[in-house]
Chain A
Amino acid sequence: MRKTFESEIQQLKDEVLVLGSMVEQAILGSVEALKKRDVEASRLIYEADARINAKRYAIEEQVMIAIATQQPMAHDLRLLASLLEVSGELERMGDYAKGIAKINILMGDQPLLKPLIDIPRMAQKGADMLHRALTAFVNEDAETARLIPYEDDEVDNLYDQIYHELMLFVIQDARSIERANWLLWVAHNLERLADRVTNICERTVFIATGEMKEIESSRDE
């Protein structure tokens, strides 16, 4: 029985990795589409969010079945509970990508307020953190997981920079408010995404050690 259970757990971890890469692609793709003002690409990403949601529900169901049939304890129980949590986090990150896609669709024919430089950087950084956080998660590598949240400062700094830059546009020309606001929302979504990466890292530490603790990056303190 232990063998069956272990292969079920491995399969669940694989599924979470698949979900993670769907989210990663959606995030990078949504920002790329915005940068190019490719509304059609954004529409596809917007619609693809349903597949991310479906994947999350499928994982949730598998976890429920494993809990019901295997009655997991200790490490196994922490892992399965964390798989539920992490797939939920990933699904919400998918919603951020969907939100960014929606902004591009809403902008219609209007040009970008400014060429995108820092926003793609934020997206790249966030996706990179997510990728490494998920790798640490499936490997149950608490050491790595403890360090990743500190990189959130970089994302927060980029957000501040974007915020100030956009405010300058607004001060100079009040008519730019709407276009500035759109970009601010994009940046906000990316900032939230990186915060959720921290939640995944906290789960990894929990699985490995049983400790449920918030990892605070320097900015949160």
Chain B
Amino acid sequence: MVKPTTVENTAIKVQVKGLSVYYGKFRALTGIDLTVHDRKITAIIGPSGCGKSTLLRSFNRMNDLTPGCRMEGEVILEGENLLAPAVDVVDIRRRVGMVFQRPNPFPKSIYENVAYGPRLYGIRRKSDLDEIVASSLKSAALWDEVKDKLHQSGLSLSGGQQQRLCIARALAVEPEVILMDEPASALDPISTLKIEELMQDLKKDYTIVIVTHNMQQAARVSDFTAMMMIDEQRAGRLIEYDATHIIFTRPKDKRTEDYVTGRFG
């Protein structure tokens, strides 16, 4: 197993063991072993097509939605194997939230976007919902900008605000882990900075796993970095995993070195 050489004293949140993912006969990921630390930000980097998003989507069984997708191995969240057949997928997706590349608010009001999840999980009382909406928007650093227009459409917001609304929506169901798939790649630099700052605030309470093509972003925001590449069979592999400062100053694997210095990819 690839282990970081400098592991601080942090608990393990998610343990991936021998994970392989198939799309039909094609093996997209092979033999992934990875430890995600509690309340830390783990970045997954690597060239296009190396399986970063597939790995990320294994953390909340999003791959189930792709026809013909099959997973082997284990993804253990707090002692529970998320890949076990008996697992309640709806519950997993509450515990492991996700934020996508393009902001995708529902065509509903700002309030309803955030209240949607809690309602789905059975919260009905208005005062409870009001409180959840306010606290989620505050946690997503959006409250001050929208508190006077909660009943306007979520789509009326700017791209950066929409993305923070999506983060607030994810937070509203009190997840333990937040997955982010290129959360800032469609945003301007100022909005990107806001998302990155928000991530630093969020990691006090949540474990974050982020896929990014932006190496500087990975270096800036994350505590640990996992480097992936495809092998000769075109299956994605984890080739190096370590504390972020090591990956970006003295990686051990030549392929990581070449990737982070821009020699390929």
Contact = CB atoms under 8 A, between A and B. Distances in A.
A88 interface: no
B262 A210 contact: no
Given A72-B261, A73-B262, A77-B249, 17 more contacts: A2-B262, A5-B262, A73-B219, A73-B249, A73-B260, A74-B248, A74-B251, A74-B256, A74-B257, A74-B261, A75-B257, A75-B261, A76-B261, A78-B250, A209-B250, A210-B249, A210-B250
B88 to A, nearest CB: 42
B257 to A, nearest CB: 5
Interface of A: 1-2, 5, 71-78, 209-210
B158 to A, nearest CB: 27
A154 to B, nearest CB: 33
A75 B251 CA distance: 9
Contacts of A71: 215-216
Interface in B222-265: 248-251, 256-257, 260-263
B215 A73 contact: yes
A42 to B, nearest CB: 44
Nearest to A70: B262
- Nearest first, the 4 A-B pairs at minimum CB distance are A210-B250, A73-B260, A73-B248, A74-B257
Nearest to B260: A73
B262 A1 contact: yes
Contacts of B257: 74-75
18 contacts: A2-B262, A2-B263, A5-B262, A71-B215, A73-B219, A73-B260, A73-B261, A74-B248, A74-B249, A74-B250, A74-B251, A74-B257, A75-B257, A75-B261, A78-B249, A209-B250, A210-B249, A210-B250
Contacts of B250: 74, 78, 209-210
A72 B215 CA distance: 10
Given A1-B262, A2-B262, A77 B216 contact: no
Interface residues of B, number: 13
Nearest to A5: B262
A68 to B, nearest CB: 12
A74 B260 contact: yes
A212 to B, nearest CB: 9
* Secondary structure type dominating chain A contacts: helix
Nearest to A72: B261
Contacts of A77: 248-249
A201 B263 CA distance: 27
Nearest to A206: B250
B201 to A, nearest CB: 25
Contacts of B215: 71, 73
A1 to B, nearest CB: 7
A53 B257 CA distance: 34
Nearest to B263: A2
Nearest to A71: B216
A164 to B, nearest CB: 45
A210 B246 CA distance: 10
A71 B219 CA distance: 11
Contacts of B262: 1-2, 5, 73
A71 B262 CA distance: 10
B185 to A, nearest CB: 17
Contacts of A73: 215, 219, 248-249, 260-262
A78 B245 CA distance: 12
A153 B103 CA distance: 65
A67 to B, nearest CB: 12
Nearest to B258: A74
Contacts of A76: 261
The interface centre, meaning the residue of A5, A73, A76 with most chain B CB atoms within 10 A of its CB, is A73
Interface string B189-207: 0000000000000000000
A105 to B, nearest CB: 45
A28 B250 CA distance: 38
A72 B260 CA distance: 8
Nearest to A73: B260
A78 B261 CA distance: 11
A89 B92 CA distance: 57
A77 B262 CA distance: 12
A70 B262 CA distance: 10
Contacts of A74: 248-251, 256-257, 260-261
